[in-house]
Chain A
Amino acid sequence: MKPHTLSILVENKSGVLSRVTGLFSRRGFNIESLAVGPCEEPDMSRITIVVIGDDEKIEQVMKQLNKLIDVIKVSDLTDSERVERELALIKVTAELGTSRAEIMQIASIFRASIVDVGAKTLILQVIGDTDKIEAMEKLLRQYGIKEFVRTGTVGILRGAKTVTSGK
């Protein structure tokens, strides 16, 4: 059982996301993270889903996804050389004159940027893979995280290989 990153190319039509996510819940597959957006083809969207399961279960998910008429292509990026990124926004308690400096130090170690400075809070923006974001969250927890927002993982294959419709 390990996380698998699936890249799913779909028709850019209303209801497609609900077909895809409905299939996951109906067949008892848990979605760890989900990211959706338009892609290089104007009439398609790309969904990146991270799902945990053994190889057989993941194979079954992919086959079931492929059966959806609006799904054009499904690829499991997990065993390939790939880049995976997630963006997180973290609102941390940081009263003036208290731990602000420490937090800003942590941010710089993680190459996070400070995108909002308030009287009582800072908002940090961090980009990285899941491990990095979770490590940073863990460190910031002691200062008090007021809100934590994540985009979900997106992934892309390294080199010339692509997940496209093959046209």
Chain B
Amino acid sequence: MKTGAKILVESLQREGTEIIFGYPGGVVLPIYDELYDSSLRHILVRHEQAAAHAADGFARASGRVGVCLATSGPGACNLVTGIATAYMDSVPIVALTGQVPTNLLGNDAFQESDITGITMPITKHNYLLKNAGEVSRIVQEAFYIAGTGRQGPVLIDIPKDVSTGLSEDVKLPEKVSLRGYNPTYKGHKRQMEKALELLDHAERPLIYAGGGIISSNASAELVEFATLASIPVTTTLMGIGCIPCNHPLNLGMLGMHGTEYANFAVTECDLLISIGARFDDRVTGKLETFASHAKIIHIDIDPAEISKNKHADVPIVGDVRAVLQDLLSLMKKREAREQWLKKIRHWKQHHPLKCPTNGALHPQFIIRTLSDLVKDKAVIVSEVGQNQMWTAQHFCFHNPRTWITSGGLGTMGYGLPAAMGAHFARPDVPVFDIAGDGSIQMNIQEFGTIAAEKIPVKVVILNNMYLGMVRQWQELFYDHRYSFTELPPVDFVKIANAYGIEGMRIESPDEVLPALQASLDCDGPFVMDFRIEREENVFPMVPAGAAINDMIGGHPQS
């Protein structure tokens, strides 16, 4: 006989878990006691939200399921933002929460909260365990559900008496089989043939590549497909990294802060091939004018995404990688679409992203300097806001899973803890968190974790003493009325030092490269406080609800 807590730890290891991020508390004491002499590595965070984000960052950087652990009540509730973040971006994590003993459930007991009820809309599935005998089977199911199909977070709520309860080993099936869960992996052959027919007749096709390509590990197939069929590629925020930034067919990001040439291409294309993307409002702008001259092929593993926002002429439900492989085997090489590519080259040449150079310290310059310095040997995590958009625009990503950001939920405070998780997935390369002074303060307590655990995250704070993105909207759309968006100056170097972390303040462009180099030369974590141009904006920009070729801050139309 074993306790539920012991079965839990063994089950996690059986699923290949090596590291979990967590925070102890009353009802998870039996689990923590089991962890005390387990080989499972536990990272003690400073706030449970960070545990969820760290598990998420680990999952995105590694492609494996991330795991976090919190106690009942406030601990579980603190995971909520992290779980919602993972849900919106389809990231596989398993969140474990303690719960009051089953005989007190529903009794408003100390530190009781109905976390399965609370997380119902933000998990792919969740469980409330009833006895120790079901622990191993449900852990197996949870990992299976989190990591297959359209991936996502799964929560397991574990009452204290389940952790302390006893059970014999339960024989588990080799493969999980659930009658209500059967994701479609293979694309429908006839649909794929239809797609290729459309492609044959298209003069101006465009691939709109999303995060689904990253999660299904289909980057190589995507690049091969685009090259073979001579189709330019624009990526969503989540799709960045699926095709190298300097690939001639890559148009960069589309949408609200997309490149002008990507948004022009969407507007003018006659065939849009959406792969692992979901026509989010930040991508499409005004739906009626989005790719309005194009037929649409929509490839996605989640049937509910097909025609949700935009009617798909040819829907293909399946795993993006499997579908691309099948398409590749069915298609022939096609000569370059010279006219279309020429037009795109013209746009690229005349409408490049702007990088101001007037002697002041501009964030775009910092991102480009970092990009040139680390090249393809780093994982870049961001917070949310201007810092995120500047990085998405100006950092040159070469590989999938090297760009980690909260896209769907847009969670400020995501970056630092996600960077901690990413480090454990990729200890071979430096991990940078690109932050703003607003978002870094949302989980700044994690300086404690990176210091204590010697996690060598390099924190780049683009400090403009504003909640910059909101201020930008206030400048453009609210008549410069900066309502509650100015932040008083903070000495981040002193804060870092107080935690025992090295830091540096940077105030001019010529200090940028030395500072970044110093951060790389430092073995441990390092905090850089860049005092940037305060009212720098992210351009180009599509105002909310406008057509995506209707950008402000771009170049004059030629």
Which residues of A are at the interface with B, using a C-beta cutoff of 8 A? 10-11, 15, 18-19, 22-23, 26, 56, 59-60, 63-64, 66-72, 165, 167
Extra contacts, 12 of them, besides A69-B125, A69-B178 (Cβ < 8 A), are A10-B180, A11-B180, A15-B116, A15-B128, A23-B121, A59-B307, A64-B304, A66-B304, A68-B180, A70-B180, A71-B180, A167-B179
Give the complex CA separation of A165 and B179 in angstroms.
Answer: 8
Q: Are A69 and B304 in contact (CB under 8 A)?
A: no
Q: Which residues of A contact B124 (CB under 8 A)?
A: 69
Q: Are A72 and B304 in contact (CB under 8 A)?
A: no
Q: Which residue of A has the minimal Cβ distance to B306?
A: A63
Q: Which residues of B contact A10 (CB under 8 A)?
A: 180
Select which of B121, B128, B178, B302 is within 8 A of A67 by beta carbon: B302
Q: List 28 A-B contacts (CB under 8 A).
A: A10-B180, A11-B180, A15-B116, A15-B128, A18-B120, A22-B121, A23-B121, A56-B307, A59-B307, A60-B304, A60-B308, A63-B304, A63-B306, A64-B304, A67-B304, A68-B125, A68-B180, A69-B125, A69-B145, A69-B178, A69-B180, A69-B181, A70-B125, A70-B180, A71-B180, A72-B179, A72-B180, A167-B179
B303 is an interface residue with CB less than 8 A from chain A: yes
Looking at chain B's contact residues, the main secondary structure is mixed
Q: Are B178 and A66 in contact (CB under 8 A)?
A: no
Q: Are B121 and A26 in contact (CB under 8 A)?
A: yes
Q: Which residues of B contact A69 (CB under 8 A)?
A: 124-125, 145, 178, 180-181
Number of interface residues of B (CB under 8 A): 18
Q: Which residues of A contact B116 (CB under 8 A)?
A: 15
Q: How far is the CB of B271 from chain A (nearest CB, A)?
A: 23
Q: How far is the CB of A5 from chain B (nearest CB, A)?
A: 21
Give the complex CA separation of A22 and B116 in angstroms.
Answer: 13
Give the complex CA separation of A110 and B551 in angstroms.
Answer: 65
Give the complex CA separation of A132 and B307 in angstroms.
Answer: 37
B residues 103-124 in Cβ contact with A at 8 Å: 116-117, 120-121, 124
Q: Which residues of A contact B181 (CB under 8 A)?
A: 69
Q: Which residues of B contact A26 (CB under 8 A)?
A: 121
Give the complex CA separation of A67 and B152 in angstroms.
Answer: 12
Give the complex CA separation of A86 and B368 in angstroms.
Answer: 67
Give the complex CA separation of A67 and B181 in angstroms.
Answer: 8
Q: Which residues of A contact B308 (CB under 8 A)?
A: 60
Give the complex CA separation of A67 and B302 in angstroms.
Answer: 8
Q: Which residues of A contact B303 (CB under 8 A)?
A: 63, 66
Residue of B116, B180, B306 with most partner-chain A CB within 10 A: B180
Q: Which residues of A contact B121 (CB under 8 A)?
A: 22-23, 26
Q: Which residue of B has the minimal Cβ distance to A22?
A: B120
Q: How far is the CB of A91 from chain B (nearest CB, A)?
A: 33
B residues 303-322 in Cβ contact with A at 8 Å: 303-304, 306-308
Q: Which residue of A has the minimal Cβ distance to B130?
A: A14
Q: Which residue of B has the minimal Cβ distance to A9?
A: B180
Give the complex CA separation of A63 and B302 in angstroms.
Answer: 9
B residues 130-185 in Cβ contact with A at 8 Å: 145, 178-181
Give the complex CA separation of A66 and B116 in angstroms.
Answer: 20
Give the complex CA separation of A167 and B180 in angstroms.
Answer: 12
Q: How far is the CB of A6 from chain B (nearest CB, A)?
A: 15
Q: Which residues of A contact B306 (CB under 8 A)?
A: 63
Q: How far is the CB of B92 from chain A (nearest CB, A)?
A: 14
Q: How far is the CB of A72 from chain B (nearest CB, A)?
A: 5
